[in-house]
Chain A
C-alpha cells in the first residue's frame, strides 16, 4: 500500500511540474498585461499582478479597436467551424461508408494536399480573391480552408468504426440517405464532431498569414493580424500587446473546456484504423 502511495505522489509531482512548465508563459503574459510596458524586462522578473490592466486594455482598444477585432475573429471562427464541420463530416461519411469509383484517389488527394506548405499557396489564392473582388471580405477568410483535409480525415476514421449493420437496419426501415446520415451516423460520432470542431476552431483562430494578406482594412482585422500591427521599428508597448495576447487566449480556452470531454473520445476514433 505504501509503495503505491509514494508512486502516485511521484506521478502527481511529475504532472504538476509539467503543468507549471506548460502554463508558465500564459501566466507571465497575463502578469505582463497588468503591468507597465518596461516591466516585462525587470530583473528579477515581476511575477505578481500590477494595477495597469485596465489602462493597458484601454490603450489596446484605442490602438486596434478590440471590440471590432474580437467580433471579426469570433464571427469568422464560428461560421467557419460550423460550415467546415458540416462539409468535413459529409465528406468523411462518403469516404468511410461508401464504395465508389475514385474514392481512394480522391481521399489520397485530400491527404496529399496536407503536405503542401501553406506559404506556397498564398500568392495564387490572393490573385484569385483579387480577381473576384473578394479581398477584404469575410468569405475570403472563411472559404479557402472549409474543406479542411485533416478534418475530413478525422471524421472518416471515426465513421469507419460505426457498424454497417446500423445503416442496414435503417435502410430496411425505409430511412432515406440523408436520414441515415443525420439520424443514425451523426449521433454515434458526437465525440468526433467535438474533436474536429476543436481542431477547426484552433486552426482558424490562430491563423495569421492568410488573414494578413487577404484583409485590407482595419475594420476587417482578425486578432492575430491586429496584434501584429502593434509592432513598429522602435515602439512596442508590451503591456498592451500582452493584454491583447491574454484576451486572444480566452475564447479558445473556453471552447476547449466546453468540448474537452468529448474531445478525448473523439480523438480515440481517429486512430482506430491506420
Chain B
C-alpha cells in the first residue's frame, strides 16, 4: 500500500532517522501509572508493541484500556513510568508531538469538527498551504486518493455532521492514515462499520503490518481478535494481567483473564414461546425514506431480531415505532390496537420501551444521578408523583431495589451517570424498563461499547423479559448476537425487508447472502 506522504519538504521530522528494525520494540512502556482524582486508572503497566505487529488490548470497561491509549497518544502524561518510542525516551509528550513522530490514534469519540467537510477535517492542523493561502485543489486530490485507496464509500466534500456514524468512523480512520504513520491506535474501529467496510479495514491493517507499522487495537469482539491479533495484553482494574500470543491462547482463557472468573456460554439458552401478536407493522414508510414499505410483526414471548448493514434502516424502523422518526404511511398496531402518530411519552404509556444505541447522546443525563436517570421515564405515574410533586421516598426505594436486582456495582444510586462505565450505563437504561409495566422492548444495538461480562447480563435480562411474556425486538449489526438471541430474524437491506428467517434457515450464510442478493441482481441487470 502506498499512503501519500505529507508534503513538508523543508523541515525534517525529528527522531525518524533510526531504523525501527534495529531497535525493537517500537513502543516500550514500563511501570506506567496514572491517577484521576485519587482513583488509580493505571497501576504500573508494561506494554511492548513491535513494528509490524497488531497488539490487542483486552479488558472490561474501566480496565484502563482507554487511559493507556490516551497516554500513548499524548492526551495526558503518565504520573510515573517510562515511555520509549523507537528506542528514544519520550518526555513532555503532547498530541502534536505524537503525530509528528508517527503515532496516530483513532478514538471512539470522534476528533472531527462537525461543521467542516471531511476533507477539511483530514487536513486539520496540517493544511497544505503556500504563504498562508490554502491549496484546496491539491488537498482535495490527496483526500480523494486516500479515500479511494481505503475503499471507503465516502465523499470528501460532505460536511461531517451530514454523515452517518459509520461514515464518520471512516473519516476518522482516513484522518489517522493521512501522513506518515508508524504506530496506529484503533479503539473499537468496527463498532459502526458494516461487514464489507470491516473487511476493507482488515485488508488495510494487513497492508500496514507488512509495512512495519505497529498497531494497538482495542476490541471486545472475539472474532476480530482471532482474525487480527499477533499478541494480546489483558488489563484488569488498571493492572497488566498477562500478555499472550494470540495463536496459542483460547477465547475462554482470554475472557477468564479479563473478568477474573469463568464464563462458559456467552449467549443464554432462551425458551421462546411465541404467543399474542404484540407489534404488527404494515407497509410502513418513513418520511426520510430510510424505511420503505416494511411489514413485520413481533409476538409476545419471543425475541424478534432485525439484522442488516449499518444504514439499512433497521434502527430507524424501531425508532419509528417508539415515535422518534416521523412516518409517512403505513400502520402500526400494538397489541391489536392501531397506534397512530407515535410519540415517546405515549409509547411508554402503551408499554413500549426503547433502548437507544447511543446511550451518551440519547440515553442519559450524565450530570444527574443514577436515581434520577432511572426514574426519568416513570415520573408521570401516580406512584412516583402526585399533583406534580415527587414522592422521593418511593422513588429512592424503588430505584435502589431495581438497581440491586441488576447488580449495579458499586450499589450507590446517587452517583452521577457520567462516572459510570459503559456496562453500568446500560444497566441504568435497563433499570428504566423495570420501573413501569411494559410489554414491548425495542433494543437498538444493545451491546455496543460494553464488555463481555456486561453483555452477558444484558442477554440474561432479555431472557427474563421474554420468559415473563414480553415481546422483544433486537436490532443489531453484530450478526452472531442477533442470530443467537432471536427466534425469528428479519434481514433488512436498503430500507426494505430482504428476508425473514426462522429455525434452521437462521444462519450467518443466509443472512449475508440476503444482504448481497440485491447487489448481485443489480449487477447482472
Asked if A and B are interacting partners, one says: no
